[in-house]
A and B are shown apart, each in its own frame.
Chain A
């Protein structure tokens, strides 16, 4: 039986996806690890948005976070330590048609890959980025990371870490061309999903820092915030995320903040006593590097040959 192309196309979009369509293998993360929450949220997003698994690529560096692509039934690139961003940028430049997620950790992004992180913000290429920030190196077994709070005891800092923690939000908000900065926590899956959803729909480099627990190495580090919901500050706005009633009953510390206001975003991000959760900054008008770089020239055989011959003419003797 033959079908018209239009009908086939419509059928294609009628396909229903299930969570299983995006699941691959059994995650080998520890029980209670925040990575599981991010994986569940991303798989839900894929299902809800009906993303084609073959058109989706998850890119990561090295670390616990970076095992992420192995657990997605999409294309994936589990790269090398710190280099997830440039790999993802190369994929984006070659393939405007793919959906790209990047998973990176606090060591991967804020330490060994810090240079790439700054420049990735500046390139503003269209991809959705999750900084799995558990404030500790997990895979290498408990060393202080750049985001470890001052005094964190670890295998390399047995008497406590020596430096103030780096704040990924204020750093990101200081880079020109930044276009989307949000923060989520692994223990509020509802807002985690809403933020991921907004990040996915933002065209540009959507950077989501997810503060997450490491039950193995720093089991109590986030207790002060977990046990005192008032220290979690929900950031909402008509152009940001909205907060449901159920959530409002627990998290009473809420502020309204227009995500276009970068100065206020920096202020909110600077408060390290509270954990702000929500979209801190979103500017849909920042150009994407891949669009800026597209010349619009057709790469046909004829065009390539014509240009090649013209170049040879210049050097003829």
Chain B
């Protein structure tokens, strides 16, 4: 592979002016938190996108706000997959890393995130540090990395930066950006423009200082680094934006015309509300930070009941707390959008890590039969459109719509076509017209279960919404037939929505040996692995579910055309090779459980809960094993 050749050359001929052409490269910039690695990486990603390259950036976030400096667990930074074409996921292991100290780098090595032979550009100020312990740990790490065949290039970032600034800590990231612009042959002018955009709110002197360091890094690299890469871009003239999944959700809230978002701070969902607090309120939107998750949900329900559909944004533990409120909204038929940016569970779990563990609690959660709509955006772009769709479904069917995003989408960034605003996205003004004589608040349609909603302010529509079983007049039902009827109506609405959905598109051939089913953020990785296998002549296809409740039509027919069916998910499932696990005891993954129950088809699953997005390489191994009837990888 070209990548391997490139890395070899990098080490062997450090000063030869070669430029290797690649299809893609994965770059990481890591530092202690607060040293600006993320800004460097984001800028690099944006520059690459400006050049016409596909990118996928993933934040590397330590668990603490201020982890100790130079600690293995403290790596803060960003990882950018730069490709020739459209990039759909974070990809496999890293090809090139810029590390501001050796300890954060070891954290990434230990996490097995670096490709064998990976190029490492390592800040070398630690080699001559006044503290002998630091010198010792640096040299030990350096030797270990070299022994492990990484291509380590020591770079004097601190020393070089001090030629231009008194505080190198504050400018090193731009110096690193300059180095990377040289290595990837990115246009320096595009980099200057990007810095101007990034620091747009600051004074010109700040921009100038950063540009100076960028240019210094570029100059230094041109003189001192003997290798470079070209990742040919696929030029297009479509207007694109590059955002992460949480900003995408927040933009969706703005574009859906919802007026009120109620939330309580929780990782990794909060940044969506941060963004809304800034942008949404400029046009009269309200972000209410409630006293707790339950209050946030109840506040949104109150706002929805008396006005337009409202939204509450949370993550797993907060979602658990909202469950009673969600049941109330289902029972009282109040539109509500609930966003759950999933994280690792159960309990406090892994707040900053990736997991898809909340599907079943979203579908079946809240006591009794509380049917609600559950959607799962599979891309960052999808996060945006999902909110608009969710708002519309919530108001059409007067029910709760749950959007399951996750920490992979929330912390990744990807360019996509700039949405073209449509007035029809916005919620219509609330109905304040008099209610026709004799109309009843829950006049459930006998076929669809849908009833019209009376909003406070509508003359003649007075009634008391209640979480108690109620009749068509919203009177407390003491008659058992009424309860039967109410549950029927609320369930029928899900069926009515189901009839409007389209079957999932099959990625690959319509029939074959193995069908892979996924949902949520794993789409890009699954399709990349499946695409490779198809190219190698394997009869594998994939479908990806956008709706989890109701499910899209035609899934059973698609499954039947394949010899084997399995899901790939990032949640828990028992491994068949564990001693106690057999058909009687095995707990399947969320989606596999659902598919087996619904379609009576023997759906297998492979899952992992390592807190990271699944890599295409791993999926490929799993699928090959399944195809060849070996045990799971």
Physical interaction between A and B: yes
Binding site for B on A (CB under 8 A): 24-25, 52-55, 57-59, 69-70, 72-80, 83, 85-95, 97-98, 115-116, 118-119, 293-299, 301, 303-305, 307-309, 311-312, 315-317
Q: Are A91 and B303 in contact (CB under 8 A)?
A: yes
Q: Are A303 and B283 in contact (CB under 8 A)?
A: yes
Instruction: Bin the interface of chain B by size.
Output: 35 or more
Which chain A positions have C-beta within 8 A of B295? 83, 85-86, 89, 115-116, 119
Interface residue ranges of B525-574 to A (CB < 8 Å): none
Q: Are B298 and A308 in contact (CB under 8 A)?
A: no
Interface residue ranges of B279-333 to A (CB < 8 Å): 279, 281-286, 288, 290-292, 294-308, 310, 324-325, 328
Give how many A-B residue pairs fall within 8 Å (CB-CB).
189
Distance in angstroms from B507 CB to nearest chain A CB is 26
In Å, the complex CA distance between A54 and B255 comes to: 30
**Top 9 closest pairs, chain A to chain B, by CB:** A90-B302, A76-B464, A94-B307, A86-B298, A90-B303, A87-B302, A317-B49, A86-B295, A78-B466
Q: Are B291 and A116 in contact (CB under 8 A)?
A: yes
Q: Are B462 and A58 in contact (CB under 8 A)?
A: no
Report if A79-B50 is in contact (Cβ < 8 Å); known contacts: A91-B456, A299-B283.
Answer: no
Q: Are B461 and A54 in contact (CB under 8 A)?
A: yes
Report if A90-B284 is in contact (Cβ < 8 Å); known contacts: A311-B279, A312-B418, A315-B243.
Answer: no
Distance in angstroms from B46 CB to nearest chain A CB is 6
Interface residue? B508 (CB, 8 A) = no
Distance in angstroms from A159 CB to nearest chain B CB is 32
Report if A76-B291 is in contact (Cβ < 8 Å); known contacts: A94-B308, A298-B284.
Answer: no
Q: Kindly supply a per-residue 1/0 record for chain B positions 17-59, scoring 1 wherever the CB is within 8 Å of any chain A CB and 0 otherwise.
A: 0000000000000000000000000000010011000000000
Given contacts A93-B299, A98-B456, 6 further A-B contacts (CB under 8 A): A79-B298, A116-B295, A299-B259, A304-B257, A307-B283, A308-B421
Could you list 18 examples of A-B contacts with CB < 8 Å? A53-B462, A54-B459, A55-B456, A70-B475, A73-B462, A76-B463, A76-B464, A77-B302, A78-B468, A86-B290, A87-B302, A90-B301, A91-B306, A115-B292, A118-B291, A307-B283, A316-B239, A317-B415
Chain A residue nearest to B262 in the complex (CB): A90
Chain B residue nearest to A315 in the complex (CB): B241
Q: Are A317 and B476 in contact (CB under 8 A)?
A: no
Which chain A positions have C-beta within 8 A of B241? 312, 315-317
In Å, the complex CA distance between A90 and B456 comes to: 13
Chain B residue nearest to A92 in the complex (CB): B302
Q: Are A83 and B294 in contact (CB under 8 A)?
A: yes
In Å, the complex CA distance between A60 and B210 comes to: 58
Which chain A positions have C-beta within 8 A of B503? none
Chain B residue nearest to A296 in the complex (CB): B284
Chain A residue nearest to B197 in the complex (CB): A314
In Å, the complex CA distance between A295 and B242 comes to: 29
Interface residue? B196 (CB, 8 A) = no
Chain B residue nearest to A77 in the complex (CB): B465
Q: Are A89 and B328 in contact (CB under 8 A)?
A: no
Q: Are A58 and B260 in contact (CB under 8 A)?
A: no
Interface residue? B265 (CB, 8 A) = no
Interface residue? B156 (CB, 8 A) = no
Interface residue? B460 (CB, 8 A) = yes
Interface residue? B467 (CB, 8 A) = yes
Which chain A positions have C-beta within 8 A of B426? 301, 304
Q: Are B282 and A78 in contact (CB under 8 A)?
A: no
Which of A73, A93, A115, A299 gathers the greatest number of chain B CB atoms within 10 Å? A93
Which chain B positions have C-beta within 8 A of A299? 259, 283-285
Q: Are B300 and A77 in contact (CB under 8 A)?
A: no
Q: Are B457 and A308 in contact (CB under 8 A)?
A: no
Which of B290, B465, B468 gathers the greatest number of chain A CB atoms within 10 Å? B465
In Å, the complex CA distance between A151 and B551 comes to: 56
Q: Are B260 and A94 in contact (CB under 8 A)?
A: yes
Chain A residue nearest to B423 in the complex (CB): A301
Distance in angstroms from A7 CB to nearest chain B CB is 19
Q: Are B242 and A80 in contact (CB under 8 A)?
A: no
Which chain B positions have C-beta within 8 A of A91? 302-303, 305-306, 456
In Å, the complex CA distance between A89 and B297 comes to: 11
Q: Are B288 and A93 in contact (CB under 8 A)?
A: yes
In Å, the complex CA distance between A305 and B421 comes to: 7
Interface residue? B4 (CB, 8 A) = no
Q: Are A79 and B467 in contact (CB under 8 A)?
A: yes
Interface residue? B516 (CB, 8 A) = no
In Å, the complex CA distance between A300 and B292 comes to: 31
Interface residue? B621 (CB, 8 A) = no
Q: Are A311 and B254 in contact (CB under 8 A)?
A: yes
Which chain A positions have C-beta within 8 A of B463? 75-76
Interface residue? B152 (CB, 8 A) = no
Which chain A positions have C-beta within 8 A of B419? 312
Picked from B243, B247, B281, B302, the residue with its CB within 8 Å of the CB of A94 is: B302
Q: Are A75 and B418 in contact (CB under 8 A)?
A: no
Distance in angstroms from B484 CB to nearest chain A CB is 21
Interface residue? B251 (CB, 8 A) = yes
Which chain A positions have C-beta within 8 A of B257? 304
Which chain B positions have C-beta within 8 A of A83? 294-295, 298, 325
